[in-house]
Amino acid sequence: MANYTAADVKALRDQTGAGMMDVKKALEEANGDKEKALEIIRLSGLKSLAKREDRVASAGLIVGKVIDDKVGIIVEVNSETDFVAKNEKFIAFANTILDAAVETGAADLATLLEAPVEDKKVSDLVDNMGAVIGEKIEIRNVVRVEGDHVALYLHQTSADLPAQVGVLVAGNEKLASLGRDVAMHIAAFSPDFVDSDNVPADVVEKERETLTKLTLSEGKPEHIVPKIVEGRLAAFFQENCLIEQDFAKDLSKKVKEALAEADASVKSFARVQVGA
């Protein structure tokens, strides 16, 4: 006869996020002792960590925070399935990682993984979470953006999932009036650069070479090819540079026009998407 109840199974699942069969097996092995069952689940998970190294953690969530209106941090925490990604324990774990990034000022993954959390490191918490939940868990991204004003936008691609896209945008103080709108635009339109001046020279040159070959292959007269290429290069900038794009909130104007009306400017931005 089972020495545990359905309520015990539910409570341990809620606490750990582990699968039902794993919880039942642990309770049976522990003769109904919930603390012992919890330890069994954790140790069993740690033993299987190496077996999960080749599995892909492509689900997960984005968490973010802005400190004193001037510093923004986003962390991407990954799991193997959406089921785990929306688990309250996993969400709380992700926010613990975010807090560690905020408190230590970590701006890169290596620094964040070494960041202390009580008597452990973030990397230890990742291993323990993977052991308890039974999936490969990893932190894929941490980004830090600074400016006179920083806006944050977290986007849910599905109502039953936590945020899957996170955007930070930094600029002058006047950006406060439309920073969130600009961040939402970046989430939707995925620009790569703030403006044409921020596009690396090698990227511009490679695009120019590609467009030249394309234009010549179309049989255009060689003497007008440079002019056609420059026109197409302008279209490339319009597609990939934030301020040249049509503003998502008002498609009748460019982002740069909306910024100019508010006397605002954008210094930098970061866009992170789960699994991208």
Domain with 24 in it: 6-47
Q: What's the sign of the alpha-carbon dihedral 223, 226, 227, 228?
A: positive
204 and 180 within one domain: no
Nearest to 166 by CA among 91, 57, 269, 64: 64
Burial class (CB in 10 A: 0-12, 13-18, 19+), 272: buried
User: Residue 15 falls within a domain, yes or no?
Assistant: yes
Is 1 among the domain residues?
A: no
Do the bridges between strand 165-171 and strand 149-155 make them parallel or antiparallel, or are there none, so unpaired? antiparallel
| Rounded average pLDDT over 157-177 | 96
Does 12 share its domain with 38? yes
Least-confidence region, from 22-31, 35-44, 211-220: 35-44
Asked whether residue 107 falls in the same domain as residue 231, the answer is no
Banded model confidence at residue 1, pLDDT cuts 50, 70, 90: very low
- Residue 34's pLDDT band, with cuts at 50, 70 and 90, is confident
Confidence category of residue 186, pLDDT binned at 50, 70, 90: very high
Provide the pLDDT confidence category of residue 11 given band limits of 50, 70 and 90.
confident
Give the chain's domain count: 3
Nearby residues of 111 by Cβ (< 8 Å), 6 or more positions away: 104
Assess whether 163 and 38 both reside in one domain: no
pLDDT tens digits, 100-154: 999 999 999 999 999 999 889 999 999 888 877 878 899 999 999 999 999 999 9
Separation CA 233–CA 271 (nearest Å): 24
Q: Are residues 257 and 128 in the same domain?
A: yes
Decide if 54 is inside a domain. no
234 occurs within a structural domain: yes
> What is the per-residue pLDDT across 61-94, written as a single tens digit (0 to 9) for each?
999 999 999 999 999 999 999 999 999 999 999 9
Q: Which two tokens stand for residue 206?
A: 């490679």
Same domain, 216 and 140: no
Looking at the fold, whether 154 and 207 belong to one and the same domain comes out as no
- CATH of residue 230's domain is 1.10.286
Supply the pLDDT for residue 234: 94
Do 226 and 206 reside in the same domain of the chain?
A: yes
219 contacts: CB under 8 Å, gap ≥ 6: none
The CATH number assigned to the domain holding 27 equals 1.10.8.10
Containing H/E element for 170? strand 165-171
| 218-261 pLDDT per residue, tens | 999 999 999 999 999 999 999 999 999 999 999 999 999 999 99
108 with 157, same domain: the answer is yes
Helix (H) or strand (E) holding 21: helix 20-29
The percent of the chain in helix, strand and coil, each rounded to the nearest 5, is 50, 20, 25
